[in-house]
Amino acid sequence: MLAALEKREREIELSRQALREKERMLTTLMSNLDGMVYRCRNDEHWTMEFVSDGCYHLTGYRPEELLHNSHLSYKELEHPEDRARVREEITAALLEKRRFFVEYRIQCRHGEIKWVWERGVGIHDEAGNVITLEGFVENVTERKLSTQALQQAERSFRSIFENATEGIFQTSPDGRYLNVNPALAAIYGFSSGAELIASIGDIQHQIYTDPSRRAEFMRLMRETGVVTNFVSEIRRKGGDHIWISENARAVQDEAGNLLFYEGTVEDVTETKLNQEKLEHLANHDPVTGLPNRLLMNDRLRQMMLSAQRSKSIVAVVLLDLDHFKLINDTFGHNRGDQLLQTMSHRMLACVREADTVVRLGGDEFVLLLSGAGRGEAMSQVVQRVLQTIARPSQIEGRELSVSCSVGVSIFPRDGRDVQTLLKNADTAMYKAKEFGRNNFQFYSPEMNTVITERLEMQSALRSAVEHKQFVLLYQPKVDLVTGQIAGMEALLRVKDEKGDLSLPENFITLAEETGLIVEIGEWVMREACNFNKSLQERGLPAMRVAINLSARQLTRYDLVRAVEQALLHAELSAEYLELELTESMVMHDPEGVIAILAQLKALGIQLSIDDFGTGYSSLSYLKRFPVTSLKVDQSFVRELGQDENAAAIVKAIISLGHSLDMKVIAEGVETEKQMSFLLENRCDAMPGFVFSRPLSAGEFALLVVRVSGGGGGKFSLLRQLCASLNDESAQESAVDITNF
């Protein structure tokens, strides 16, 4: 009997322990729930009999403050606007003996408003009466606010969709309208979007007057996924025609499958008619058929006004064909016009229909590009233009190649009127030329400083021409076989107001662009010939003077006559004049250059190719050129003894020149090591600082007098005399040629 009682007590204790464990687990579970578990009486105030710890995190009140409504009733936390609805919904659920779900707002301890979701059930007695309610209250504020924001966005989108002045559409890939707004229906002449959708089952043939436009639309969609400013003529419900501009994109699902096309439609009939009226005004370039400056001004103003309304941008792209004047002078205006026409077609192929290509005049063009946020796209257009322009062109059986320099200004950033935008684009274009041409630059305010300096240099250059501020220096050319002076190079300098001399790289390019190089070149030719003749008249050994020709001089129709006049004026024999041409000059138009060089050779002029090895010469043409010497570019000579490749190139040029029965001259020799290499490899002659700096006319004459009257070893006397002339103290006592 006693054992049975003990067993019973153990069972009771175990049951109690299990119950306590369940209570602990239940308490832990409820404490970790993100919300409040409750049980309340089914009375007027729904008095709380149990509230979990989640109450504090949810409401800011401790459970004991709500328990038995000791401090306040939970129902008092319900938002006044929601309170009646909450009781009504819960009561209805209890009467129907089902679970209740209700969403409402509560006001927390510190005034914060939260959205909560409450779900629960009524507990019935044996008679079926609800005695208590048990449930769970969860914070759903974040979800509720997100849902509200989404609903607001949907309402806003729907409002925009319904009230937009532009037509908005969604179409299926097979050419049916899926969704349209009232504006599109009105544009197409329908009373409602529903009527439009019901009436149009084949967009290609029922809407477009030219069905191929829809085919083009589909092609662009397949290739790029977008169409931009796609202008077409369409047929309205009543049969009349209008012009529209479409912007659309392809919409795909997550797997990349095409769902539909969506976009906007704008009635651009008025704009189209205005464009046609402007075309009737004949504001187009007669050579290329492109809009001219007057039409460009009007279009740019229209584009700026449109950009202001749409808060977009306009790019003014100024393009200048590099060295076009040289081609025009070489081949004549007819071929020049053909090249302009070819270039205009290429530019048109690089831009959109909504963009404009203009010929300002000469070799200058303007591209007007528009669109919101198209900065990167505009850069791509300009890159495409650069590449397209640079492709060789066939003009009357001749292959011609040109590049272009491009400057870009952006409205409204770089200006708000036509002239300012053009001026700034011009500034950027000259910056592109400074970077070596065949590139483009966007305008920046800092460029104005560069342009100002350029204008000042141009003014100074013109002044130098007018006031005869040019000076010729002469650098001895040494025969590497005899060690004697074998000739001289005439080097051009400009003397400023302080008497300082400016190197040619600072002004030659500008002189070529402005055309002043022709006048300057003729002066150099006359001055060098006169000086050489004066040396001979004083009984000094006859030698040849070498001068550089510019590309403009080479392509002038009267170059041969200019040479003849310079020789005749100086009474100098043609054999004592040498003309140097760069490799790139002679290869620009080999056939034309050969004809000019042949005439010069017939006069007895010596011809040489300067900077050999840096251009793109063809050996098939080189053997046909009537040249007597090649000059190895100083960039190779400078690296002798440092770069094996440079040494190999110099050896190859020397060998090539000798095999073609030409003399080979090395430029820019500055060290003994360089001279030793050239001697070992049978180079014929060299100028360079290893012997002498460029000398004034008087200094050079004095050097020739001393060398011709002295003896010594192969180079000893020459070096000694050059050293004395290069001494700064000797410079002060150097005599002018007229004084000895």
- Listed residue (295, 319, 322, 346) closest to 409, CA to CA: 319
85/97 Cα distance (integer angstroms): 18
Query: What is the percent of the chain where pLDDT is above 90?
Result: 35
Task: Average the pLDDT over each of 169-178, 543-552, 713-722 and give the range with the smallest value.
Answer: 713-722
Instruction: Give the count of beta carbons closer than 10 Å to the beta carbon of residue 683.
Output: 26
367/382 Cα distance (integer angstroms): 9
pLDDT of 79 over the 90 cut: yes
Q: Note the pLDDT of residue 506.
A: 62
Query: Which position has the higher pLDDT, 624 or 70?
Result: 70
Could you tell me if residue 428 is left (phi over 0), alpha (psi between -120 and 50 degrees) or otherwise beta?
alpha
Q: Note the pLDDT of residue 735.
A: 36
* Domains of the chain as residue ranges with CATH: 27-145 (3.30.450.20), 164-270 (3.30.450.20), 285-445 (3.30.70.270), 470-735 (3.20.20.450)
pLDDT of 19 over the 70 cut: no
Mean pLDDT, residues 437-458? 74
Q: How confident is the model at residue 379 (pLDDT cuts 50, 70, 90)?
A: confident
* DSSP letters for 520-583: HHHHHHHHHHHHHHHHHHTTPPP-EEEEEPPHHHHH-TTHHHHHHHHHHHHT--GGGEEEEEEH
Kindly state the tokens that stand for 123.
């507990």
pLDDT of 400 over the 60 cut: yes
Are 567 and 577 in contact by the 8 Å Cβ rule? The answer is yes
Q: Note the pLDDT of residue 739.
A: 35
Q: Note the pLDDT of residue 349.
A: 92
Task: Average the pLDDT over each of 88-97, 110-119, 160-169 and give the range with the smallest value.
Answer: 160-169
pLDDT of 86 over the 90 cut: yes
Q: Note the pLDDT of residue 715.
A: 62
Q: What is the CA radius of gyration of the chain?
A: 45
pLDDT tens string 403-417: 899 999 999 999 999
pLDDT of 731 over the 60 cut: no
590/569 Cα distance (integer angstroms): 31
Are 556 and 329 in contact by the 8 Å Cβ rule? The answer is yes
Q: How confident is the model at residue 615 (pLDDT cuts 50, 70, 90)?
A: low
| Partners of 492 in beta bridges | 472
Could you tell me if residue 627 is left (phi over 0), alpha (psi between -120 and 50 degrees) or otherwise beta?
beta
209/234 Cα distance (integer angstroms): 5
656/48 Cα distance (integer angstroms): 109
Kindly state the tokens that stand for 207.
């809407």
pLDDT of 666 over the 80 cut: yes
Task: Average the pLDDT over each of 397-411, 659-673, 720-734 and give the range with the smallest value.
Answer: 720-734
Instruction: Give the count of beta carbons closer than 10 Å to the beta carbon of residue 315.
Output: 26
Mean per-residue pLDDT over the chain, rounded: 83
Instruction: Give the count of beta carbons closer than 10 Å to the beta carbon of residue 438.
Output: 17
Q: How confident is the model at residue 545 (pLDDT cuts 50, 70, 90)?
A: very high
Kindly state the tokens that stand for 74.
């939970």
Instruction: Give the count of beta carbons closer than 10 Å to the beta carbon of residue 351.
Output: 19
pLDDT of 239 over the 70 cut: yes
Query: Which position has the higher pLDDT, 652 or 718?
Result: 652
- Identify the residue whose tokens are 């509560």: 106
pLDDT tens string 449-467: 666 666 667 677 777 666 6
Mean pLDDT, residues 142-163? 76
Please give the backbone phi and psi of residue 341, each rounded to the nearest 5 degrees, phi first.
-65, -40
Contacts of 280 (CB under 8 A, 6+ apart): none
Q: Note the pLDDT of residue 453.
A: 62
- Listed residue (450, 430, 428, 426) closest to 441, CA to CA: 428
pLDDT tens string 255-305: 889 999 999 999 998 888 887 776 656 688 888 989 999 889 999 999 999
| Degrees, nearest 5: CA angle 693-695-697 | 170
479/477 Cα distance (integer angstroms): 7
162/171 Cα distance (integer angstroms): 17
pLDDT of 20 over the 80 cut: no
pLDDT of 182 over the 50 cut: yes
| Partners of 250 in beta bridges | 261
Q: Note the pLDDT of residue 29.
A: 62
Maximum distance among all Cα pairs of the chain, rounded to whole angstroms: 158
Q: Note the pLDDT of residue 152.
A: 77
Q: How confident is the model at residue 353 (pLDDT cuts 50, 70, 90)?
A: confident
- In total, the chain counts a number of residues equal to 740
pLDDT tens string 476-530: 888 887 778 888 999 988 876 666 666 666 677 677 777 778 888 888 999 999 9
Task: Average the pLDDT over each of 6-10, 47-51, 167-171, 259-263 and give the range with the smallest value.
Answer: 6-10
120/128 Cα distance (integer angstroms): 17
Instruction: Give the count of beta carbons closer than 10 Å to the beta carbon of residue 19.
Output: 10
Query: Which position has the higher pLDDT, 81 or 584?
Result: 81
Mean pLDDT, residues 327-346? 84
- Say which amino acid occupies 126: E
**Residue 590, exposed/middle/buried by CB under 10 A (0-12, 13-18, 19+)?**
middle
Handedness of CA 700, 705, 708, 713 (dihedral sign): negative
Distances (CA, A) of 620 to 513, 589, 658, 686: 31, 14, 16, 27
461/54 Cα distance (integer angstroms): 89
Kindly state the tokens that stand for 542.
């006859």
pLDDT of 728 over the 50 cut: no
Task: Average the pLDDT over each of 23-27, 46-50, 666-670 and give the range with the smallest value.
Answer: 23-27
506/457 Cα distance (integer angstroms): 9
pLDDT of 393 over the 70 cut: yes
272/388 Cα distance (integer angstroms): 29
Q: Note the pLDDT of residue 21.
A: 64
Task: Average the pLDDT over each of 64-73, 355-364, 492-501, 564-573 and give the range with the smallest value.
Answer: 492-501
Are 664 and 657 in contact by the 8 Å Cβ rule? The answer is yes
pLDDT tens string 298-325: 999 999 999 888 888 999 999 999 878 7
Please give the backbone phi and psi of residue 573, each rounded to the nearest 5 degrees, phi first.
-65, 145
- Listed residue (574, 578, 568) closest to 548, CA to CA: 578
pLDDT of 586 over the 70 cut: no
Kindly state the tokens that stand for 19.
């119950």
